[in-house]
Structure 1
Amino acid sequence: MALYAYASSLLVWVVVGFRMAFGEQLLPFWGKAGVALTQSYLVERASLPATEHDGIPRTQPFYPEATLVLFQFEFAAITLVLLAGSVLGRMNIKAWMAFTPLWLLLSYTVGAFSLWGGGFLYRWGVIDYSGGYVIHLSSGIAGFTAAYWVRHPPPVSFSPPFLIWIA
């Protein structure tokens, strides 16, 4: 489950997720979707949207945008892997395969844009130094909710084939 979460989040992140979390504003809590694989995202300097406010231009560090895409992908993937731990052994893999990209797009990108992408939480002055809100809070609440609603696994009765294994 964790390997699938990591692999699928890479595809979803570079196809639409990065621009939804760090792109131009669509709603106060969501960015416009788009592909992050064009030449402008691979070789041009990175641009941090959450640093632009009150007439101050965006900060542009000295590394390409592709580095920022990869760096933020790791956060998105780790969030899904943390979420996988709460439903491991309880959820069917087919359900997990449908849930993973949907949760990344509908939940993670909202938190990332709202705080790191220059959304409404950033404008209210909320500061997230190390991903406590975007990563840990979102995966924790989603994991708790998923563990509550997903059924417990059926009890497994284990009887050893040899009596010597009992001792």
Structure 2
Amino acid sequence: MKNTTDYLKENNKFQDTSYYTILYYGYPNTSRLELMEMISEKWKIKHIEAAGCDVEEKEMIKIDRQNKKTYAAIEKKYGKDWKVKYEDDLQNVAMKKVDIMDVLITNKTFRTQLEKCNIEIDGVDKDVKPLNNSTYEVKVYGFTQDNKKIDCCTVNVDLINRTVNIIK
């Protein structure tokens, strides 16, 4: 089993050092992780798995100690109420994800593209990346019955104009 130091060393190879790294352990909340990834550029915060579900208390203490240092550095940069602002941003981006899906499912061009990829509208999965306040890059994919990933397309969704532009 890797320890906290191993995870930090391994992930620092691939990480921009201008980001704060918050470690987590246990069963991941994938929905929340997706939202945190969407605001990571704004906040310069990345969340990295340091241990899975089977983690010893000694390792949890090390991870929590490391995170405490990270939280202090984040507080120094963003202020004492950073967690409240961060949670507000998570709520806002969650609502944007709903808006994005609303735009996508009502767009004929997008639905035609889904048909070409043999993906049902209720079987759409997506990765969302903000481009600016109202435009998002969305990578759309689905899965076959035998759980093989189908990469369908990448689109830009403009929430103000409620338009979808297929990129690829």
TM class, shorter-chain normalised? 0.3 to 0.5
Q: Which has the larger radius of gyration?
A: 1
As a proportion of its length, which structure holds more helix? Answer: 1
As a proportion of its length, which structure holds more strand? Answer: 2
Q: Which has the higher contact order (CA 8 A, sep 6+)?
A: 1
* TM-score normalised to structure 1 length: 0.34
